[in-house]
Amino acid sequence: MRLLSTRPFKVTAAMMLTAVLGGCSSYHYKNYQGDWAPEQMTPYDLSNNAPDAPVVYFATVRYRDLGIPFHRLLLATHVDDQLLEGAGRASILDVSGKQALKLTPGKHSLRWCWTSMNALGTGGAQCNLEARDVEFKAGKRYIVDFQNSTRIVGAPGRESMRIHIKSTIRDLDSDEVVYPVFGSGQELIPRT
């Protein structure tokens, strides 16, 4: 009986790893915009063509960690407690929403998902992040942005990762934070 050499398998694995790590630098989740460029985003129009309708953008960023390309983004799912067309979370790896909204001037409540996916096909999301009764002024542009931090908790051998997401809404022109009033943030616990 002849034993098969493992060398061809090692070469193939090395080539695949190189393709994943090197060839996916432009990785983005689904068809969502990967890099922050508001002029390239087409807002989902809920303004009924109101003149000087405010526009709200949701942050998106791509980066590498340990050579693996990641895409983290916020996706709007609800406005004034109404589910947006095609938005929602079908599964841990299947999240949909809007990256920009055109609203009528005035107070609105927004809900969105924080999504983190990578070129290896893994990731996750946390939905139902929200801002209630935020004043969006005519002719203004806003961004819903986020900062995330990770910490490991638990006894050795039983550790789990906790992700803390802090979202803010800023006026894009003045950089004034319009939401939250200090100290708000939501701790997200990914499902394992």
Please report, in tens digits, the pLDDT of each residue of the chain (192 residues total): 555 555 544 444 444 444 444 444 578 899 999 999 999 999 999 999 888 999 999 999 999 988 899 999 999 999 999 999 999 999 888 999 999 999 999 999 999 999 999 999 888 899 999 999 999 999 999 999 998 877 777 888 877 767 788 899 999 999 999 998 544 444 443 433
Helix or strand holding residue 167 (H, E): strand 160-171
What token pair was written down for 109?
């409540």
CB 70 within 8 A of CB 62: yes
Residue 165's CB is within 10 A of a number of other CB atoms, namely 17
Torsion angle of C-alpha atoms 127, 47, 176, 128, degrees rounded to 10: -10
What letter does residue 98 receive in the DSSP assignment?
A: B
In sequence order, the 6+-apart residues with CB closer than 8 A to the CB of 130 are 78, 109, 110, 111, 112
Task: Please tell me the pTM assigned to this model.
Answer: 0.78
